[in-house]
Amino acid sequence: MKEDFLHYLWKFQKFPAHRLSTVKGESLEIVSVGIHNSDAGPDFFNSHIKINQQFWAGNVEIHLKSSDWYIHNHEIDPTYDAVILHVVWNHDVDIYRADNTVLPTLELSHFVDKQMVLSYQQLFSKKNTWINCENHFGETPELLLQNWLERLYFERLETKSLQVFRLLEKYKNDWEAVLFIILTKNFGLKVNGESFLSIAQSIDFSVIRKSRNQLLDLESLLLGQAGLLENHIEDSYYDQLQVQYRYLKNKFGLNNKYVTPVQFFRLRPDNFPTIRLVQLAALYHKHASLFQEILKRKSRKELTQLLQINTSEYWDTHYHFKSNSIRRIKKISTTFVDLILINTVAVLKFCYAQSQWKDNTDEIISLMQEIPLVKNAVVKTFNELHTGFDTALQSQVVLELKTNY
């Protein structure tokens, strides 16, 4: 047992307050438990109690055992002279005040319901539980659970929206520019997310707007800022990209000095930074106002059709510049689109509606329920505790539940 539990018992009076007595048999009435102190000094300030109908105002100190008073050297600390009641679980020694009178003591173990103590022990005695309530999570009524999950999802969205609104302030409410920043970061996934973010931040979005008509320009910009066009490679397409990047870098005064290097290590070829960057280039080449196009579409099907584009022909036989591969069209997969819908599209749609003082929660919920469950270790374990999680909405929620609750 920990003192925190005793603090909880006292603060919320989890005992029959109408029949309390001190260890000396004096009647005890709690008028006010006081103010919980999380800093040094007595545990509760400005408590009000009655002992044998005598009113007392002062502080309350809480320990597991009475003798802890001496272990903590409170007897020589004047901060504790104003303590009017010592609350303990087990009373093993009397505590004397400066005037040699015994400090009144409440021994909680005589008054707290045994079932509450048992529940506390079950909750905290297991060292290897994944979550404290795992033995009871599956018993949660379905309606209660679903209402709670929807609430948690929008808590998650609100947290993510803070970053969006900070970016909007930085980029003067240019939603297309903010989309480019967030979308580029999410195209990098976990391994290259920060690197891709640094690439996006190194290019003013006006440069993307001016270059979007030529796919070669967009590819050279993104690959060049990523530092992937700095070698000598015997490849004609690489040479074209290199020449164009040097021209654009000089024209727009670009600098990639502070761009975080991209990683290929332990990535599947489809997730190589070369592939993800040229897919992003193809997306912006195809859609002049991508954010506006996203706002027009509500369903997963419509948004997938918008985002599921092919790369330029060169990449049909390449994953990088150093060697050819078997011909395969590098179309953005449905699984990858789903991740973009979850982490970029839903978040920006939510933020835009908020900025317009509109409510689009039904649209967001509908979209997230269309997307299949995103499988990971957290989702897998929650599904073992309570079967039935099968949508992206639920996978986002259990991540929030595990991380923040």
Band of residue 183 on the pLDDT scale cut at 50, 70, 90:
very high
Region of poorest pLDDT, from 89-93, 248-252, 339-343: 89-93
368 phi-psi bin (left φ>0, alpha ψ -120 to 50, beta other) = alpha
> What is the chain's percent helix, strand, coil content, to nearest 5?
55, 10, 35
The two three-digit tokens of residue 12, written as one number: 């919320």
How far is residue 371's CA from residue 380's CA, in Å, rounded to a whole number? Answer: 17
Quick check: 167 pLDDT over 90? yes
Q: Which pLDDT score, from 0 to 100, does residue 158 have?
A: 94
Band of residue 132 on the pLDDT scale cut at 50, 70, 90:
confident
Q: Which pLDDT score, from 0 to 100, does residue 277 have?
A: 98
Query: What's the DSSP call for residue 103?
Result: P
Please state whether beta strands 54-65 and 83-90 pair in parallel, antiparallel, or not at all (unpaired): parallel
How far is residue 227's CA from residue 248's CA, in Å, rounded to a whole number? Answer: 14
Region of poorest pLDDT, from 8-22, 51-65, 169-183, 286-300: 8-22
pLDDT in tens, 30-64: 999 999 988 888 999 999 999 999 999 999 999 99
Q: Give the phi and the psi of residue 30 in degrees, each rounded to 5.
A: -95, 115
pLDDT in tens, 200-235: 999 999 999 999 999 999 999 999 999 999 999 999
Question: Torsion angle of alpha carbons 286, 330, 208, 352, nearest 10°?
Answer: 70
Quick check: 252 pLDDT over 80? yes
